[in-house]
Structures are given as structure tokens and as C-alpha cells.
Amino acid sequence: MRLAALDDDVSQLDLIQRSVKAIGYECQVFERGQALMRELRRDSFDLLIVDWQLPDIAGPDVVRWVRAHHEHPVPILFLTNRSEERDIVEGLGCGADDYMTKPIRVHELMARVKALIRRSYPPQDSALLRFGGYCIDLAARTIAFEGRPIELKQKEFELARCLFANLGRLLSRAYLAETVWGRAVEVPSRSLDTHVSSLRAKLELRPARGYRLSAVYGQGYRLEAVGDGAHALPLAGEAA
């Protein structure tokens, strides 16, 4: 999971980042609302932590912008000094999913972040996932189409799992690199493009099969259901 934290206090950002990393997530920090909004135009995050009082734009306006410009809702946690009931009502009313007041209580922050992640990205209960004619076996780490297995390399499987799990969502190159290769690995741009091209060919991700894997210039990749495959979100889990 990749998170973004917005606060004009560097010490607060450092505490948030260390707390988030302690529960296993990456956290990119921003001191200005406009900087985060610019980054959101080209990068992908799984959760946002937003302060209210910022030098350039108010936190609620950032949240409203995110809700207006992102087709896939990202969970948002307000973390602010403002504790009046009217502030909490406004913060939640403008689109935030949770509200926490400062001073930061580290264990509470960890718990709230984990709870938001659980609600927004529920774990798959089954080892088998179906997307139209595709069947993904999470335990065996294999993919088949209409019962015919498709040979994939390890990273190709991880890439496919990530794309299908985020069907319809634009995923930035940085997001894919960190999710598939790991947070400590620098992935050359050509390597990611090669893996995407290979996966598109091996899985035959084309409209005739109900899916299209597209590159969005300067941003990343999106796997989407098209035509007869438009119904093919995960249909049903099956016991392994």
C-alpha cells in the first residue's frame, strides 16, 4: 500500500511517515496542498492523510478536489488540530472517511489507517478469483483462461494480480513498480514496459476477451473491462 500525507509541519509529517512505515506501508509526504494535487494527477495512492490548515489551500478544498477528479474513491483521513463538532461535520461532509484530532496518538493513527485500509480494500476470501474467462489461483500463483493455463514469470503474475485487483483504476508507474518489485527496488522504466507488453501478449488482453490494457501517456497503465467483459469484475470466490 502507498499512502500520501499532507501537513505543513515537517515534524508532524515525519511522525506520520514513521508510524505508517511501522505497519508496513509506504508514505510520501507533502507540505503544500497544490503539490499533492499535482502529484495525484500522475501518481496513485491507496490512502490520503490530510491536515486542515495549510499555507496555500484549505484541507477540505483538497478533499473536494480529490472527490471531483478521481473516479475511484481513495480513502481520506483528516488529521488536524481542529476539534470542534462543526469542523468534524464539515470534514466528513466534504468527503473524508475518518477524522482524527492532534496531538497525534501514534497507536490510534496506526489503528485508524489499518481500519480504513481494511474497509476500502477487503482481503480476498478465496484462493481463486474469476474475471470473465480468466481464473487467478492466488495459492498456486497461476492464471488460466477458460481452463487453459498461461505460463507467466513471477513478476508477470504479480503484475497481473495487481492490475486485475485494481480493474478500471489508473495505476501510476511508481505504484506498479513498488507493488510488484518492492519498495526498496529501483525499476528501470524499460523493464516495466517490457513486463506490461509481455503480459498483454500472453494473456491476450484485448476487447475480444473482454479486457483492454492501455498505457496512459506520462501516467501509467489501466486494465479495464470492455464489451462483453464489462460485467467481469470478480464474479465469485471458490474454495481452494
> Does an H or E element contain 139, and which?
none
Compute the Cα dihedral for 87, 1, 16, 19 and give only its sign. positive
Question: How would you write the pLDDT of the chain (240 residues) with one tens digit per residue?
Answer: 899 999 999 999 999 999 999 999 999 999 999 999 999 988 889 999 999 999 999 999 999 999 998 877 899 999 999 999 999 999 999 999 999 999 999 999 999 999 999 888 876 656 888 999 999 998 899 999 999 999 999 999 999 999 998 998 899 988 998 888 876 456 666 888 999 999 999 999 989 899 999 998 888 999 999 875 444 444 434 333
Residue whose grid cell is 513471477: 154
- Please say whether the beta carbons of 175 and 2 come within 8 A: yes
Residues 143, 81: Cα–Cα separation, whole Å: 48
CB-CB contact of 202 with 150 (8 Å)? yes
pTM: 0.75
Q: Is 199 exposed, middle or buried (0-12, 13-18, 19+ CB in 10 A)?
A: buried
Q: How far apart are CA 72 and CA 120, in angstroms?
A: 11
Q: What is the grid cell recorded at 200?
A: 498483454
Enter the C-alpha cell of residue 54: 495549510
Which residue(s) pair with 6 in the sheet?
Answer: 30, 50
